[in-house]
Amino acid sequence: MSQFTICTYADGGEFIEGDTAAIAWDVLRLTGSHRDCEVYDLTRTPHLKPYAIACLAASAALQRQKQIIPTVVPPSNNACNEHLQRLGLYEFFEATENRQVWSRSSNLKVQKVTYPPGRVSENAAEVLTDGIQLTAGVRPQIVTSLDEVLLNALSHAESPIECVIVGQGFPQSGKVEVAVVDLGIGILNHLRRNAEYEQLSNDEEAIELATQDGVTGTRRGTRNRLNEQNSGAGLHYLRKYCEAGGGECTILSGRHWVTYHSGERVVGRLKQPFQGTLVNLRFFAAPGGEEGEKLCVEW
């Protein structure tokens, strides 16, 4: 029987920043490999960030697509177990016996999104910003950003599971974190379909290019597979917003991930390619949000 067991030690060589980051690389490797898995053993998990939850849900959804019914062994850490329940992860697995936990108003439960996404972004922004004293204009920004990222996943990725979204709002620090993942062809492969970019061969360059204004994999004068036009503005706009200090955006696709944040650009390389695209967004939704974040730790 194929099994995935989460580990609690840093596995080295990648982007290690504390335990949770190290654990997430396990999850990323599992998810990005599309490999068969029947049992997801999370016994030793102390915590999972939204992007890792999105990945586990996507991986579980892929198993169902392959006629495998995945089961989960919940974390022995009770706070983590309740956290995963609140965020709806177990609904992607065969029913587990878990007692009911209270939901939190700022938790966006993990859900599969299919085309057309309808009001998913509006609803997500409302849930995620609940209880936050918002800086003017932040909520529409979150809606627009999520719309762009979801539509990208649904129109460009050709993902067997469409895509998955999950997020958390942190009312104390005024921060919002939300992740969208698909298991599709990746940014590089899509961009290469446009003759202007067919020479591209590197995921980092592809991500960098995709976040520039007017760059699209949809060939000039044509429409995408959903019969929509593409202007190549979506990711550029999101990147600019983050670089101006409004948040942080990490795009992981193929062998690379790139984070855009307050003028900075951080790049990392994966040992094994991630077959799909993961976009992790953080918004500093309240005045002084980024500073406030450092002062408190919230689940």
Ligand X SMILES: Nc1ncnc2c1ncn2[C@@H]1O[C@H](COP(=O)(O)OP(=O)(O)O)[C@@H](O)[C@H]1O
Contact residues for ligand X (CB under 6 A)? 148, 152-153, 156-157, 182, 184-187, 190-191, 210, 215-218, 230-236, 277
Residues between 225 and 254 that touch Mg ion (CB under 5 A): 234
- How many residues form the binding site for Mg ion (CB under 5 A)? 2
Q: What is the dihedral of CA 84, 87, 89, 94, to 10 degrees?
A: 90
Q: Rounded to an integer, what is the distance from CA 164 to the centroid of its chain?
A: 8
Closest approach, Cβ 147 to ligand X, in A, equals 10
Nearer to ligand X, 44 or 236 (CB): 236
Question: How many contiguous H segments (helices) and E segments (strands) does the chain have?
Answer: 9, 8
Which residue's Cβ lies closest to Mg ion?
A: 234
Closest to ligand X by CB, 117 vs 232, is: 232
Closer residue to ligand X (CB): 40 or 197 = 197
Calpha distance 232→218 (Å, rounded)? 9
Smaller CB separation from ligand X, 24 or 215? 215
Nearer of residues 45 and 275 to ligand X, judged by Cβ: 275
210 binds, among Mg ion, ligand X, none (CB under 5 to 8 A by kind): ligand X
- Contact status: 106 vs Mg ion (CB under 5 A): no
Contact 175, 133 (CB under 8 A): no
Which of ligand X, Mg ion, none binds 166 (CB below 5-8 Å, type-dependent)? none
The first and second tokens of residue 1, run together, are 């029987």
Neighbour count for residue 99 (Cβ, 10 Å): 7
What is the side-by-side strand order in the sheet with 107-113? 107-113, 163-170, 175-182, 264-284, 247-261
From 108, 71, 106, select the one nearest 91 (Cα to Cα): 71
State the minimum distance, in angstroms, from the CB of residue 231 to Mg ion. 8
Shortest approach of ligand X to residue 262 CB, angstroms?
A: 20
| Size of the chain, expressed as the number of residues it contains | 299
Sign, Cα dihedral of 226, 109, 259, 203: negative
Q: Closest by alpha carbon to 282, among 298, 299, 259, 266?
A: 259
Pick what 231 binds: Mg ion, ligand X, none; C-beta below 5 to 8 Å, kind-dependent. ligand X
* Among 71, 152, 159, 259, interactor with Mg ion by CB under 5 A: 152
Residue 168: phi, psi to the nearest 5? -140, 135
Least distance to Mg ion from the beta carbon of 240, Å? Answer: 14
Peptide bond into 287 cis (omega under 30): no
- Smallest distance from ligand X to CB 27, Å: 18
236 binds, options Mg ion, ligand X, none, Cβ within 5 to 8 A by partner type: ligand X
Q: Which CB sits closer to ligand X, 178 or 187?
A: 187
- Residues 230 and 217: their CA atoms lie apart, in Å, by 9
Assess contact for 256 and 203: CB atoms under 8 A: yes
Q: Of Mg ion, ligand X, none, which one does residue 216 interact with (CB within 5 to 8 Å by kind)?
A: ligand X
**CB 120 → ligand X: shortest distance, Å?**
15
Contacts (CB under 5 A) with Mg ion, residues 188-217:
none
Closer residue to Mg ion in complex, CB, 111/152? 152
Binding site for Mg ion (CB under 5 A): 152, 234
